[in-house]
Structure 1
Amino acid sequence: MTTAQFPIGSPFGAASTAQDILKGVNLSGKTAIVTGGYSGIGLEAARVLASAGVKVVVPARNIEKAKQTLADHPEILIEPMDLMDPTSVDAFAERFLAANKKLDILINNAGSMASPLARDARGNESQFSTNVLGHFQLTCRLWSALVAARGARVIALSSANHRIKVADFLHDPNFEHGEYDSWKAYANTKAANVLFAVALDSIGQRHGVRAFSVHPGGIFDTGLLRHTDVSLAIAAGMADKDGNAIIDPEKGWKTREQGAATMVWAATSTLLEGKGGVYCSDCEVGTQLAEDEGPLSTTGVTPGVKDSVNSGRLWQLCEQLTGARLD
């Protein structure tokens, strides 16, 4: 059953950290994959889940960097994988399935933001390839392990910057007909992440697999900003005039620890049992906005990305472009 896009009374909020979410919680026996789990908010999520007893696997494009950042956490397993390389995604999934019977939590966290125009080997725009298609293929390849968990959750990292005209995006997802705009491309992928969660949840719930999309908040200290001039962060209010991060969770500007909280909450909260397909923010189910156009909201989601027809079209597009299917 589709869950209403309405707050459910979470005891946590904008200032909560991932560690707050799992304080006193024992998740021994569960297995999780956190893509991008060796930097930024992904690293914090992986660390906190592991501290709660979860067997955490981190796929990494840069193995040496992953080994360095996870050096203090030898219990976290590192495996090679490049989301833009279909062969690499398949190889990772095969290795995981050979060693694990089930997957309780899949956090599709890795991503690229506002990068210059680049394309993968199949011609797909790089942000779309990384943020959407790679994670779609990974989820499909791991489907049998998710079903075997009998209660698995899949988390798709979205953003407040998801307000787009969905029809325009679905018509030209790879900027083959329109002029490339790096921020528009990013917003497209964040809208697609919500659509993905809606579609996956509608398919998965009868198998006990539920999906959620998550807005982590704005985190200045993260690798996502490597393609962004600091002046944009200053203009947005997430950094002061000297380029130092401004932390104000109620306005959406968070630390890494706070940024990781909502994905960990969506992946583990007992309040979400039997629920799915919803967009979450500030460790709570977000509100439903009235229209697709308008200013960004730190907690709301637009109707266009929650639409079942649009989500079905996105799912079909991903199948066509990747060749992946749920087995």
Structure 2
Amino acid sequence: MITPQRPLPSGFGPDTTAREALGGRDLTGTVGIVTGGHSGLGLVVTRVLAEAGAEIVVPARDPKRAAEALADIPRAEARPLDLVEPDSIDRFAETFLATGRPLHMLVNNAAVLGHPEQRDHRGFDYTFAVNHLGHHQLTARLWPALIRADGARVVTVSSRGHRFANVDLDDLHFERRPFDQTVSYAQSKTANALFSLALDSRGEPFGVRSFSVHPGVITTGLNRHMGETDRADARAAYGPRRTAEQGAATTVWCAANPQLVGMGGVYCEDVDIAEAVEASTTATPGARPWILDRELAERLWAVSEDLTGVRLPG
């Protein structure tokens, strides 16, 4: 059943903390994976889920550094993964699947922002490869564990930045149009939301529900490639700055709060389902029409399968 793209309302809001957004749920016996879960908002998500009883695996390019960040968090472990390297994604997934554990929560959180023009070894735009294609492949590879959970959630971190660009399926990697950092990032965040929409339609029959979220804005290493002017513009575009606990709240809400049982395929912000808004809307919040376009989501899914060479096990 399609979940309406409109606020519940949840009773929460922009000042809600990640712990409050959990809704008091005990996660003992559950397993989660949080990409980028060793720094910034991801670290808060990892901590809140683990302290509620979940076992959390944190994939990281530098697992030693990640393990140091996770040292004081119970039931959290770091494992090697580079989202821009397909072989690395496959190795991580194979290792996890070999444990036989179900996967109740997959949080596709890792991202790059404001990255200068760069291509991966396949010739793909680096930002699109990390933010979207890497998570598409990871989710597909982990599909058997998600089904095994008998009630799983996949949370993919999008952004209010989706309002700056749709996906250009004819030129995803800026081979014909001039490269633009803002457009590159916005396209990847639109792709995250469309991925979540298409994934939910595939997962619902198996009890796997999918959400995309705009987290709160905090100062993290994510914007290290941006100049001060760009950072100021971003603050104006994405909303007021929040604490890390507030910024991680919507992600935690989508990953574990009981309010969302039986729902999925929606874009969320401020710890609620976001309002659908017109394309011409100048206000920052809201889901623009292109991230709710199911036909476009299916087209992107097909393109992503072709680019990664990975399909959901059928």
User: TM range, normalised to the smaller chain?
Assistant: over 0.9
User: In 2, Cα distance between the equivalents of 1:53 and 1:254?
Assistant: 26
1:216 CA displacement: 0.3
Moved more, 128-137 or 70-79: 70-79
Cα deviation digits, residues 56-77 of structure 1 (max 9, x gap) = 0000111232122112125211
Superposed, 1:44-123 pairs within 5 Å as: 44-73=44-73, 75-123=75-123
Query: Aligned residues: percent identity?
Result: 46
- The one-letter amino acid of 2:230's match is L
User: In 2, Cα distance between the equivalents of 1:296 and 1:147?
Assistant: 38
User: In 2, Cα distance between the equivalents of 1:235 and 1:142?
Assistant: 37
User: In 1, Cα distance between the equivalents of 2:54 and 2:130?
Assistant: 26
Superposed, 1:117-132 pairs within 5 Å as: 117-132=117-132
1:252 CA displacement: 3.4
Superposed, 1:29-48 pairs within 5 Å as: 29-48=29-48
User: In 2, Cα distance between the equivalents of 1:140 and 1:237?
Assistant: 33
User: Once superposed, what is the RMSD of the aligned Cα atoms?
Assistant: 1.6
Is structure 2 residue 216 aligned with structure 1 residue 217? yes
1:108 CA displacement: 0.1
- Name the counterpart of 2:185: 186
Q: Aligned to 1:310, which of 275, 284, 296?
A: 296
Q: 1:237 to 1:104 in 2, by over 3 A?
A: closer
Q: 1:237 to 1:312 in 2, by over 3 A?
A: closer
1:236 CA displacement: 5.2
Which consecutive residues of structure 2, in runs of 5 or more, have no partner in the other structure?
none
Are the equivalent residues in 2 in contact too, given 1:165–1:304 (CA < 8 A)? Answer: no
User: In 2, Cα distance between the equivalents of 1:113 and 1:50?
Assistant: 27
1:233 CA displacement: 2.9
Cα deviation digits, residues 89-120 of structure 1 (max 9, x gap) = 00000000011331000000000011011111
The TM-score, its normalising length taken from structure 2, stands at: 0.95
User: In 2, Cα distance between the equivalents of 1:317 and 1:164?
Assistant: 21
Q: 1:296 to 1:92 in 2, by over 3 A?
A: farther
- Name the counterpart of 1:285: 273
Are the equivalent residues in 2 in contact too, given 1:163–1:296 (CA < 8 A)? Answer: no
Are the equivalent residues in 1 in contact too, given 2:19–2:48 (CA < 8 A)? Answer: yes
- The one-letter amino acid of 2:262's match is G
- Name the counterpart of 2:201: 202
Is structure 2 residue 228 aligned with structure 1 residue 230? yes
- Name the counterpart of 1:4: 4
Is structure 2 residue 253 aligned with structure 1 residue 258? no
